[in-house]
Amino acid sequence: MPRNRIFGAANIVLLIVCLMYLVTYIDRVNIATAGPVMQKELGLSAKDFGWAISAFAYPYAFFQIAGGWVGDKLGARWTLVMCGTIWSAATILIGFVEGLASLFAARVLLGIGEGAAFPTATRALSAWMPAGRRGWAQGITHSFARFGNAITPPLFAGLIALYSWRLAFVIVGALSFLWVLAWWWYFRDDPKTHSGITPGELALLPEVKPRLQGEKTPWGPLLRRMLPVTLTDFCYGWTLWVYISWMPSFFVHDYKLDLKNAAFFASAVLFAGVVGDTVGGLLSDYILKRTGSVATARVSVIVLGFLGAFAFTLPILFVHDLVTVAICLSGAFFFAELIVAPIWAVPMDIAPDYSGTASGFMNFGFGVAGMISPVVFGWIIDATGRWDYPFIASLGLLLLGALLAFTMHPDRKFETPSRMA
């Protein structure tokens, strides 16, 4: 039986996609670590800073759908070259902002660049990953994203200490351009056209459908089919935005830690997500192998993630001990990240021919959560002075997400109206 080589073309493509998730998350969450010094120098309130964070999410949400569609039409290779160029330039520009308006504009540009990235990467993986490895592939790629979350606080705090917050953005943005060059050089949309792939590897991969250039995208039917997945992803996204937007500031303001120690605790909490992403993917694929049921493999892990995150967030209502709260936040984030791999595998399960557009519809929910939640968090903090309230506000949505997961039905393949006729 054919096997994937450890250093085969498919695994190298997966590694480069993993590095994309790492780079994009460093570029999008570094502002959380720089937040305290940026707010002081630029004269921004918590609410102002919340608006700046949320500015990323407006174009990010829109380009989930538009960018996923472009990825289906144009192909993942050139779509991600364009996206990477934009988000790298935007990261550099943040180092030159002078106030809320210019920071807002730079974050908007960053959202434009990153908006199409994950749906397009899903399109790429649908061609380069066998069905039985989709959960694991989504888990490992998103674990790199959470690794980016985890290493960004100490990494960015170190760059700020060595240079300045402005130069830190310039350095990280310049390094992001290196990923763009690697992607352009190595990736091909159709594995059959890649010079490094073997017949054994090709035998494991699905047949790649030609780009959808001459075929109309079934927007309405696909939107209706993906809507339950979008709503479920919104509930997950609301919780994630708490962690990636406010974690260092939470430890600085609520526990009076300096930036170095706050970065350490934030990194420890976020590192739990690295483990959660990987475990979620492995667990989902294991259940699929044992049961043969896509619905059981995806939905059960997602529900476990929501309920586990709820259970570990609840004690924050009653405890203020630093270590105990850090442990609870780590447990909650671990369980929340169990959700990621199976929910990103769902668009490939439901609509493999339109996986870019379908995953864009799904992650639109995450983008909408990003539009609303940082502003709400900032308003709550300014109004109450309590930095734990944003975490508590997530409890209801965690329970709602667990219920909505049962409405996704990933075992029901999407069929276009023309094919159903």
Q: Which residue has the higher pLDDT, 362 or 73?
A: 362
Measured distance CA(75)–CA(212) in Å, rounded: 9
Percent of the chain at pLDDT > 70 equals 94
In single-letter form, the type of residue at position 67 comes to G
3-state secondary structure (DSSP) of residue 396: helix
Length of the chain, please? 421
Rg of the Cα atoms in the chain: 20
Q: Which residue has the higher pLDDT, 71 or 322?
A: 322
| DSSP letters for 268-314 | HHHHHHHHHHHHHHHHHHHHHHHH--HHHHHHHHHHHHHHHHHHHHG
At residue 225, the pLDDT reads 93
pLDDT band with cut points at 50, 70 and 90 for residue 2: very low
Measured distance CA(402)–CA(419) in Å, rounded: 33
First CA to last CA distance, the chain: 38
- Taking only the tens place, the pLDDT of each residue in 247-285 is 777 788 777 887 778 878 888 888 888 888 889 988 998
Measured distance CA(332)–CA(336) in Å, rounded: 6
- Taking only the tens place, the pLDDT of each residue in 404-414 is 999 999 988 88
What token pair was written down for 279? 């475990």
pLDDT band with cut points at 50, 70 and 90 for residue 382: confident
Buried b vs exposed e over 197-206: b needs ≥16 C-beta within 10 Å? beeebeebbe
- pTM of this structure: 0.75
CA distances (Å), 185 to each of 78, 168, 179, 327, 351, in order?
Answer: 11, 27, 10, 42, 29
pLDDT band with cut points at 50, 70 and 90 for residue 392: confident
In single-letter form, the type of residue at position 47 comes to K
Q: Which domains does the chain have, with CATH numbers?
A: 9-191+220-411 (1.20.1250.20)
At residue 420, the pLDDT reads 46
- Taking only the tens place, the pLDDT of each residue in 277-320 is 889 988 998 998 899 899 999 999 999 999 999 999 888 878 88
Among 145, 140, 156, 147, smallest CA distance to 271 is for 147
Range name among 64-68, 111-115, 288-292, 293-297 with the lowest pLDDT average: 64-68
Measured distance CA(405)–CA(301) in Å, rounded: 10
Residue 208 has pLDDT above 70, yes or no: no
Residue 211 has pLDDT above 60, yes or no: no
At residue 421, the pLDDT reads 41
DSSP classification of residue 407: G
DSSP classification of residue 393: T
Q: Which residue has the higher pLDDT, 250 or 229?
A: 229
- Taking only the tens place, the pLDDT of each residue in 72-101 is 778 889 999 999 999 999 999 999 999 899
Range name among 2-6, 28-32, 224-228 with the lowest pLDDT average: 2-6
In single-letter form, the type of residue at position 39 comes to Q
pLDDT band with cut points at 50, 70 and 90 for residue 23: very high
What token pair was written down for 356? 């870019």
Measured distance CA(364)–CA(155) in Å, rounded: 29
3-state secondary structure (DSSP) of residue 175: helix
pLDDT band with cut points at 50, 70 and 90 for residue 4: low
At residue 418, the pLDDT reads 56
In single-letter form, the type of residue at position 281 comes to G
Residue 326 has pLDDT above 60, yes or no: yes
At residue 131, the pLDDT reads 67
Element holding 214 (H helix, E strand): none
- Taking only the tens place, the pLDDT of each residue in 46-55 is 778 878 887 8
Provide CB contacts within 8 A for 419, sequence distance 6+: none
What token pair was written down for 377? 């968090």
Measured distance CA(15)–CA(141) in Å, rounded: 8
At residue 162, the pLDDT reads 93
In single-letter form, the type of residue at position 15 comes to L
Which phi and psi angles does 57 have, rounded to 5°? -75, -25
Evaluate whether 103 touches 94 at the Cβ level (below 8 Å).
Answer: yes
At residue 1, the pLDDT reads 40
At residue 399, the pLDDT reads 95
What is the arithmetic mean of pLDDT over 31-35?
A: 85
- Taking only the tens place, the pLDDT of each residue in 126-157 is 788 876 777 778 788 888 887 887 788 888 98
Evaluate whether 91 touches 114 at the Cβ level (below 8 Å).
Answer: no
Chain-wide mean pLDDT for the chain?
Answer: 85
**Residue 17 CA to its chain's centroid (Å):** 13
